[in-house]
Structure 1
Amino acid sequence: MRELPTDHNDHAGGATAPTRRRKRRRHRLLIFLAVFALLAGSGLLAGGYYFDSVPTPSDLRLPESTTVYYADGRTPMAKLGDENRTIVPYDQMNDSAKQAIVAAEDRTFWTNKGIDFSGVLRAAWSNLTGGQRQGASTITQQYARVAADLNGVTYSRKLREAVIAWKLADKYSKEEILGFYLNTVPFGRGAYGIEAAAQTFFGKTVRRDAPPAQQLTQAEAMVLCAMVKQPEADPADPEGAPGYDPRRNALAKQNSIDRWNYIRDGMVKLGYLTPEQAANLAYPDTVKPIDPDAGRSGLDQPTGLVVNHVLGELRQTEQFRGKPDEVIRDGGYRIVTTIDKRVQDAAEASADIRRGTAPEAVRGQPDNWQAALVAVEPGTGRVLGYYGGNNGRGADYAGWYYDEDGQAHGFGQHPPGSSFKVYDLAAAVQDKISVKQHFDSPETKEFPDSGRTKGSPAGPIRNAEHAACQPDCALWEATVASLNVTYFELTEKLGTAKVIDMAKRAGVDSMWATEKGNPQPQRVDLRDKPAAEVAKRFSTEVGIGQYGITVQDHANGMATFAAGGKRAEAHFVRSVTKGDDELYAERLTQTDVGLDEEAINQLDWTLRRVRAARLDNGWDSAGKTGTWQAGQSTTQNVHTWMVGWTGALAAAVWLGTSDGKPLRTKNGSYEVYGSNAPGPIWRQFMEQATAAMKLDPGKYRFSDPRFPDDTPPPSATNRPAPTTSSSPTASSRPTPSATPSDSRPSPSPSDPPTPTPSGSLSLSPLPSVSPSRTRGPR
């Protein structure tokens, strides 16, 4: 008997039956679409297998940061590039990150086929039915997604991702794929790849050849691999969805700890850790604070100026000439510089007069005081220390460099004053003029051939110093007392071409002069033409230091004399590598400047007698001071210098003002000279640097001079000999006498002051100029 429906059943049946039928039809349609999509997808997979490429990290040309290192090749100086990434080959990584990333992201990685087919189908169904979108599953697929830059979570993307993953698994080993992945994925804070992450978050490396204390540990790697799940905070809700960086906020730290525990459990299941090891493993609270400048550190430090010179030097090489800077900055290169971290630290501690580590004589002085220091290794030309200012993005007071457009920039040139007399003296002893030869050295003297007479605008030459020997002084005495009259006469005797040629061969590549009517100093490249032709652009005042040179060139000149007259090119780059390939290596060459042993010995012996050059740490040392006046003043100086060398290290120090005004102490005194300002900087630096390098001074003694009559100069008698070593060059020469020098300014007229630097200065060739008035050197 048929059951009659009740009113309720009539209502229910009439209202719900069509709805159920509609739902069943909709489900059948969805199933049909899913099957169709999967079948179509299979066709896409089959076709795409032959057309989709399989990019490796090298194929992707990912922007990879270039790292600039100190000379030890381990200590980073600066990071270059828009993305902080350093690729490390898989076999050079330690096991910490390899194990942690598998435990975090794909625990079946070593056994699966590279594709999670059920995940692909699940993603297709989920996407078609409006379910939650599915991300990549296996590590191979994750790398495929990143490599192919397949943004967005769509069905077609999952299929192409599967194609690439399939081909990856077919073409590459598991180890290669894991290496691709670890070098590619983002970890947060702008760090791409595990090496950049290790450096950014822990200041460590994944390289297995690094000292154990510097290598990423297992626990630290687990912290990093936890971040891959969400490298950065959600910009829409940074507080509520901060990701896994434990330094971001309390929630992020808890997220990190929770996922770290998850990874630790996976490490046990995979056999990477025993339960006992896992129990004893502690979450590391050593993650570095978030630094917005991380990855580009060093560019605003004093060493940022070194980076400018490094790039300028590489722009002149065959490998990088004519290429845009991005090639270097984003090329993932490993640039090892010549800068010795120990020497650089001593340079900054001594020459940065704003620091409490600078010599007391220059500490706390007016804000416009500025120093620069460059140290060069004799015999190699390696720049071991460079301080051109405390801001790597500011003015460079020590030298100049070529920018990307081939233009010269920098403000490292300053009139050297009497410190340039070292080149005059070297030219003299090369010309067999003994340091014992006497010169007429009155207080003032006319030189008609050079246009320096009482009736000339500049007037006669005046001595800046006095000496007991006057008016008849041996050359060595005139050197120690820094007598301008003697050195002007010496320059006339030698000829300006010979003096300039000696400076050029020793290391002075550029010289500046102010042309009448042109307020900017113009640069002359001394290497371009023969010295006789170049000399036509300069007057006899070159011998007393009127024309500007750079601190870097001056330091290189001193290194030449320290190396016994063997000149090496000053340079900043030791090597450039990428991966296992060396793309550039320094070429160490020497050029003999023509000084025989006797000449070098006379040069050393004379300059040892400059009081400011004496060191208190047992090293034989030689040097020279110098100053240059402000405008026509006879009592105020703008530029002061101290230059010199030991057998192991040469350095030049300039101290002046950043605005071109005269040097004035905090007490209002204008008594600022080479001996009492840059002198203390030079001595402190030389003592600290040689001590830090742990060199034996006994191995770098100066040799004895042998004069034409085989007798020492008069002052060499009745003095105790310094301690000697078994070195073939050990000296038994007397200790230098304490003859004061560089204590008074010159009363001679002068040119307008040198222009004030503005951060960078374009340098152009110098046209021919007539002899100009000289400001007083010292």
Structure 2
Amino acid sequence: MGRAEERRARQRGGHRAAPRRRRSAPTAAAPAGGKPAKSFIRRLFSWKKILGTFLGLCLLGIGGFIALYMLVDIPKGANALAQQESNVYKYSDGTVLARVGKTNRESVDLSKVPKDVQHTFVAAENKTFYSDSGIDLKGLARGLYNTAMGRGAQGGSTITQQYVKNYYLTQNQTVTRKLKEMVISLKVDQRLSKDQILAGYINTSYYGRGAYGIQAAAQAYYRTDAEKLTVQQGAYLAALLQAPSQYDWAVATSTGKKLVQARWNYVLDNMVKQHWLDPAARQAMKFPYPKEPKATPSQAGQKGYLIDLANQQLEQQLMQQENISRSQAEAEVIDRGWTITLNIDKKKQVKLEQAVKSELTGKLDPKKRKVDGAVQAGAVSVDPKTGRIVAMYGGKDYFQHYVNNATRRDYQPASTFKPVILAAALQNSATTQDGKPITASTIYDGTSGRQVVDHGSKVGFGPPNEDHQNYGPITVQQAMNNSVNSVFAQMGMDVGMDKVMSTAKQLGMDTTGMQAVPAQTLGSMGASPLEMAGIYATLDNHGNKVTPSILKSAEQSSRSVQIPDPVGGQVISRTAADTVTSVLTGVVDDGTAKQRVADNSLRAGQQVAGKTGTSDEDKSAWFTGYTPDLVTSVGLFGEQSGSGRHVSLTGATGLLDPPGRVNGGTYPAQVWAAYTFGVTGSATFDLDTTQGAAVQPTAPPTYSQTPSQTPSHTPTSKAPSSSAPPSRTPPSHPPTQPPTQPPTQPPTQPPTQTPTGQITQDPIDPGGNGGNFGQGNFGQ
């Protein structure tokens, strides 16, 4: 059949098959089998391989994440920067005294931040904060990609992630840090509440102006506490976190100001969308312009001394309450974000500083008199009813003289110790050598240098009176008024020095390492104005122990320390304490403090008790005195500049009366009076006593022994007046405790009198543990 026929047959629907064509030879483009050959690229990236690779990578990523999740845990502690926080110190009225620390941060509990202010941060940074799991996967992926590509830090982190970065990690922008941030954030979200995370975030974030944390930021920008922030102010602080330096209104460019205002509006608008802010209230809000930057208060002047004592007392409480070492306690206190409120009364502190300047330091001229450069002053003022330290003077300036003169214990308190001896005699119902009770009316031999005896036996101790003054027969009251050493040296022996030192410890003196030897009757131990203020405050508080405290409260964001009551129980009887107070009013009205205190023109009817003291060679001079509502101890110390060696104060300020000597009745008494009479009003002692200067003695005087010779000098002090002065009204109520009874058995032998004027060393304590007595100027 020809081709034409075949075509016609196909057209007619014939079924004759077309002849088979001859196959050509296979080529590279068309392999045997008839299928086209695949290219190399198609063979390498087939969809099956791509899908398999993708699934493999996913499994690998999941496995890696699981391994990472198991290996990375929440760090046990914060990073070094997060642990550094400023300690904030406040006066008793809550005003800031100083901020101290390498990092200006102060953490606060979230409960102290208004709820609306909390919401400003959530609205600004992470609207889904309360519902998310701690991470933002989209933001995290974007952050990882941009970090890997070297494009720097990118946004998108949740509040939890930012808290983790601030508190646990570092600010380094690396893939490793990002992955750790993600894992830790997930775990933190599971273990901590949202409030704990938010508190951590706002307390660790940087707000500019050197401020870390919302409390420091509130002070830096609005000079207020976080708990007093308004919503508008909170929104500004929240807006700052995006660019603290660029958005600080005080230094921002015009562009920066527009940006921060836009950000502020964004925050408030988001709060409306989240139903956290009423739309009408939002429309009425105006931009809260922050205040100009203000320098942080430093530790200069008296502040450093106040801060140091507050730290020491806080460390002591932590040691006792948490059973930790001193070094551990110090590490817990310094730069750890404490808010420490002191008992310091701001007005009294200013008055004390002014009194020191007007009565002492303003008169010093080291260029004219070398000794003026050696004068150091210290003072502590205590409320005897509460035990609070209301004012303190530590030295001319914390950065010029680091040693706190108010707490140093390397100078002798001298005759300010004499009231302790009398208190010990009264508390222990002590008797004289011939068995008579020791009272304010008991007569002793006031001969200078008289050898102390113990039932007829000499003890080898005979201290001189100031200027070797002889008083002969003299009452205890007159001996206290005139600070007669020979009388109190014998009284110490009559009481028993072990009992004297025990009473000193009960009253508040640190007697560690002190020997109970006769030389201590001269106040030859070391003591501080703080210690002496505590002792006299205990006397003022009717024998109830007063341990002066500068701490009112101490709090961190997560804890507070219980501050014990500075006023304790009865350590000596009220009768004993009140009798000593009664006697000490005589020192002021008729004794060594009369000229500068009793006759001071500033005195306005205040009753005053106190005692002067001057150590050997005028190396220290004291006046510790009190009214019914305030106790203040003022000490002057001679310290050679540079070496710290103790030197004499003689000649300071060019003082001519007494002859060149600075004793307790001069500048210490003047400083005390200028301060005390400026901050106290008229008050009357409520004394439970039947003896002493404040109340006329009711019994005839008793004698400790018959003087061996006529006094070589007529006593200059007055005998107790026939009637009490108007300012010292006798109490209307009888004593609460009966008078002490004399011992049932008299001494086995009468005392012997020794020659006067001889000075010998104590055989128990050679040198007297108090220096050279030869100058004879102990006493006033």
Q: TM-score by structure 1 length?
A: 0.69
Write out aligned runs for 1:203-602 (5 A).
203-207=223-227, 215-231=228-244, 242-247=245-250, 249=251, 251=253, 255-256=256-257, 258-271=259-272, 272=277, 274=279, 281-291=286-296, 301-311=304-314, 313-314=316-317, 316-322=319-325, 323-324=327-328, 325-351=330-356, 353=357, 358-359=358-359, 363-367=362-366, 368=373, 369-378=375-384, 381-392=387-398, 394-398=401-405, 411-430=408-427, 431=430, 432-442=437-447, 444-447=448-451, 461-464=464-467, 470-510=471-511, 525-526=513-514, 534-535=515-516, 538=517, 540-573=518-551, 576-579=554-557, 581-586=559-564, 590=568, 592-595=570-573, 597=575, 600-601=578-579
User: Aligned to 2:260, what secondary structure does the other structure show?
Assistant: helix
Q: Deviations over 1:541-585 (max 9, x none)?
A: 432334432222211111121122233444444555444644443
Q: Deviations over 1:347-376 (max 9, x none)?
A: 43434x3xxxx43x5523235222111233
**TM superposition shift of 1:63:** 0.8
Q: Deviations over 1:321-372 (max 9, x none)?
A: 3253222325444545554445444443434x3xxxx43x552323522211
Structure 1 residues 226 and 644 mapped into 2: Cα distance closer, same or farther (>3 Å)?
same
Q: Deviations over 1:668-694 (max 9, x none)?
A: 642433222011211233234446xxx
**TM superposition shift of 1:643:** 0.7
CA distance in 2, matches of 1:89, 1:178: 10
**Aligned counterpart for 2:612 among listed residues 597, 621, 625:** 625
Residues 381, 390 of structure 2: 8 Å contact kept? yes
Question: In structure 1, what residue type is equivalent to 2:215?
Answer: E
Question: In structure 1, what residue type is equivalent to 2:683?
Answer: P
Q: Do structure 1's residue 638 and structure 2's residue 619 form an aligned pair?
A: yes
Question: In structure 2, what residue type is equivalent to 1:317?
Answer: Q
Residues 423, 577 of structure 2: 8 Å contact kept? yes
Structure 1 residues 297 and 144 mapped into 2: Cα distance closer, same or farther (>3 Å)?
farther
CA distance in 2, matches of 1:381, 1:505: 16
Q: Deviations over 1:159-193 (max 9, x none)?
A: 55444445555665554433332122222344322
Residue of structure 2 equivalent to 1:94: 114
Residue of structure 2 equivalent to 1:657: 638
CA distance in 2, matches of 1:276, 1:53: 44
**TM superposition shift of 1:392:** 3.9
Mean Cα deviation higher: 30-39 or 174-183: 30-39
Write out aligned runs for 1:100-249 (5 A).
100-107=120-127, 109=129, 115-126=135-146, 134-149=154-169, 151-155=171-175, 157-166=177-186, 174-207=194-227, 215-231=228-244, 242-247=245-250, 249=251
Question: In structure 1, what residue type is equivalent to 2:502?
Answer: D
**TM superposition shift of 1:599:** 6.4
Structure 1 residues 486 and 86 mapped into 2: Cα distance closer, same or farther (>3 Å)?
same
Q: Do structure 1's residue 705 and structure 2's residue 718 form an aligned pair?
A: no
CA distance in 2, matches of 1:374, 1:561: 16
Question: In structure 2, what residue type is equivalent to 1:525?
Answer: G
CA distance in 1, matches of 2:57, 2:284: 48
CA distance in 2, matches of 1:182, 1:308: 27
CA distance in 2, matches of 1:385, 1:301: 13
User: Aligned to 1:673, what secondary structure does the other structure show?
Assistant: coil
**TM superposition shift of 1:319:** 1.2
Residues 464, 483 of structure 1: 8 Å contact kept? no
Q: Deviations over 1:115-156 (max 9, x none)?
A: 444333444554566666534443333334334526443455
**TM superposition shift of 1:398:** 3.7
CA distance in 1, matches of 2:158, 2:542: 65
Which stretches in structure 1 are left out of the alignment for 5+ residues? 1-21, 208-214, 232-241, 401-410, 451-455, 511-523, 527-533, 631-636, 731-747, 752-766
CA distance in 2, matches of 1:364, 1:223: 52
CA distance in 2, matches of 1:82, 1:143: 21
CA distance in 2, matches of 1:273, 1:256: 26
Residues 465, 481 of structure 1: 8 Å contact kept? no
Residues 366, 666 of structure 1: 8 Å contact kept? yes
**TM superposition shift of 1:499:** 3.5
Q: Do structure 1's residue 721 and structure 2's residue 726 form an aligned pair?
A: yes
CA distance in 1, matches of 2:731, 2:445: 42
Residues 481, 584 of structure 2: 8 Å contact kept? yes
CA distance in 2, matches of 1:32, 1:267: 49
Residue of structure 2 equivalent to 1:687: 677
Residues 450, 758 of structure 2: 8 Å contact kept? no
Q: Deviations over 1:629-686 (max 9, x none)?
A: 43xxxxxx33211012223332211013332242434446424332220112112332
Which stretches in structure 2 are left out of the alignment for 5+ residues? 1-40, 367-372, 431-436, 455-459, 641-646, 702-718, 736-756
CA distance in 1, matches of 2:451, 2:302: 50
Structure 1 residues 709 and 314 mapped into 2: Cα distance closer, same or farther (>3 Å)?
closer
Identity %, equivalent residues: 23
Q: Deviations over 1:93-120 (max 9, x none)?
A: 1145424323433455557665444333
Residues 67, 76 of structure 1: 8 Å contact kept? no
Question: In structure 2, what residue type is equivalent to 1:422?
Answer: P
Residue of structure 2 equivalent to 1:633: none
CA distance in 1, matches of 2:78, 2:172: 24
Question: In structure 2, what residue type is equivalent to 1:697?
Answer: A
Q: Looking at CA atoms only, which structure, 1 or 2, has the larger radius of gyration?
A: 2
Residue of structure 1 equivalent to 2:667: 677
User: Aligned to 2:395, what secondary structure does the other structure show?
Assistant: coil
**TM superposition shift of 1:435:** 1.6
Count residues in correspondence: 642
Residues 337, 574 of structure 1: 8 Å contact kept? yes
Residues 610, 626 of structure 2: 8 Å contact kept? yes
CA distance in 2, matches of 1:184, 1:565: 49
Structure 1 residues 688 and 57 mapped into 2: Cα distance closer, same or farther (>3 Å)?
farther
CA distance in 1, matches of 2:92, 2:655: 44
Residues 310, 342 of structure 2: 8 Å contact kept? no
Question: In structure 1, what residue type is equivalent to 2:544?
Answer: K
Q: Provide the alpha-carbon RMSD of the alignment.
A: 4.6
CA distance in 2, matches of 1:56, 1:45: 21
Q: Deviations over 1:484-534 (max 9, x none)?
A: 343344344444444433333322224xxxxxxxxxxxxx534xxxxxxx2
Residue of structure 2 equivalent to 1:13: none
Q: Deviations over 1:36-57 (max 9, x none)?
A: 9888656655665566545799
CA distance in 2, matches of 1:666, 1:152: 61
Residues 372, 387 of structure 1: 8 Å contact kept? yes
Question: In structure 2, what residue type is equivalent to 1:559?
Answer: A
**TM superposition shift of 1:379:** 5.8
Structure 1 residues 41 and 608 mapped into 2: Cα distance closer, same or farther (>3 Å)?
farther
Residues 444, 476 of structure 2: 8 Å contact kept? yes
Structure 1 residues 282 and 119 mapped into 2: Cα distance closer, same or farther (>3 Å)?
closer
Structure 1 residues 257 and 396 mapped into 2: Cα distance closer, same or farther (>3 Å)?
farther
CA distance in 1, matches of 2:672, 2:107: 41
Q: Deviations over 1:369-406 (max 9, x none)?
A: 22111233436644443322244464435465xxxxxx
Residues 625, 632 of structure 2: 8 Å contact kept? yes
